[in-house]
Chain A
Amino acid sequence: MKSKKTNEQANQSKDKLRRELVDHFREKREPLRHQWVEQMIAKGLLAGLTREEIETESMTIYDTCIACLETGEYDDAQTYAIRMAERGVLQGMTSEQIIGGLLTLRDVYGRSLFERYQHDIEGLSSALDIYEPVANKILSIVALAFVAEREKVVRQQQEAIQELSTPVLQVRDQMLILPIIGVIDTHRARQLTEQLLRTIRTSRAKVVVMDITGVPGVDSKVANHLVQTVDASQLMGATVIVTGISPEIAQTLVTLGVDLTKMNTVGDLQGGIEEADHLLGYKVVRIESSNGFIRKEKV
């Protein structure tokens, strides 16, 4: 019974102290906020922000932190941190700027507590007991929001790169070139096939030259993907010519026993295009007087 009572008492005094801290920070809002902004400017943490932005952002952050201290709820801080991370990363703000800024704010708050309780060590210690966990929690929320945002951006960029890395190019009427460079995995093979099939449809292609000179190696899975790409194109009425099969890949394919009898292969890209020209009925003619400029004719 006794311990319960002391517990209650402790809680009550804790709440009272919390109230006191909140009132203190609210009261000192303007001087503390200015101090904070000045310190951040001195550290070069606000580069790229306008005066107006600094004013509104610093007010919001200051008040949000106090709200967390007051209510013990971090939902607003979380929402704000995610928004800030989204914007910050987009505008090229570094995590150093944001986290540095918050660390500075923590120092400013801390210092003001030291000032207030300088003659009351016990009071200072209890105040820090309340204040420090809140400050740490806010910092970790912001840091995590930033990491999550970075990861999101990295993921989006990876996808963009993958898309760029499989260009399907039209060289002539009804002829596409698909140069594949780099490692092929299941995901990329799928993406590549889908893109090729769609382009066959839109450009009404009849012949596709798929050049794999830039593919470092294949295993049975990748070989099967290549065969599938060829088969699927065939279903849409397009013939695929595969070029640039390196000695290593040729050896792998034969060793794996991949059925290549139905695959149309030519040594290099140039030969592949010549073969495609032939299939489509094009003839490339050199004109004597034109110094190497080439004219093509459909025969």
Chain B
Amino acid sequence: MADENCIPINSEIDIVTARQKGREMAAKLGFSSTELTLIATAISEIARNIVEYAREGEISLSIGQQGDKRGIIVIGCDNGPGIPNIKLAMQDGYSTGKSLGLGLPGAKRLMDEFEIVSEVGKGTKVTMKKWVQNHAR
């Protein structure tokens, strides 16, 4: 499908690919340059989370429609160890790795909608959405 894009995340180089693809797709949807940066940064954070904790997974990008809103939907999923305590993981400054612990809560702040589902031993799925701010209709 033309408006769907799947990027396998196997190493840190794929993080750059994922956020570039995301920026491209978002640009076509008509996001402002600031929003493009916010989206690319959020994608970077969740892709990094995959590399750091699950080693591999994928990011899929698609165009979403809800009522008269159009936007980008980013889904990051992996079959990694999962997150035992999501509430804790969503707190600023919490990290079990060597990062700043801003990845997930930070990405949530950058996007309009953010949902995380995780099961220990099975994997994690993060769904993020951002809608184009419609000016005239």
Contacts and interface: CB of A to CB of B under 8 A. Distances in A.
B34 A194 contact: yes
B134 to A, nearest CB: 9
Contacts of A286: none
B136 interface: yes
B137 interface: yes
Interface string B125-137: 0000000000111
A46 to B, nearest CB: 29
A116 interface: no
Interface residues of A, number: 5
A34 interface: no
Nearest to B137: A152
A156 B135 contact: yes
B136 A156 contact: yes
A152 B34 CA distance: 24
Interface in B85-137: 135-137
Contacts of B34: 194
Interface string A122-158: 0000000000000000000000000000001001100
A159 interface: yes
A225 to B, nearest CB: 12
Contacts of A152: 136-137
Contacts of A156: 135-136
B38 to A, nearest CB: 10
Interface in A143-201: 152, 155-156, 159, 194
Contacts of A155: 135-136
A155 B34 CA distance: 22
Contacts of A194: 34
Interface in A200-246: none
A191 to B, nearest CB: 10
A156 B135 CA distance: 7
Interface string B10-50: 00000000000000000000000010000000000000000
A156 B136 CA distance: 7
A194 B36 CA distance: 13
A194 B32 CA distance: 11
Which 6 pairs show the lowest CB-CB distances between chains A and B? A194-B34, A152-B136, A152-B137, A156-B136, A159-B135, A156-B135
8 contacts: A152-B136, A152-B137, A155-B135, A155-B136, A156-B135, A156-B136, A159-B135, A194-B34
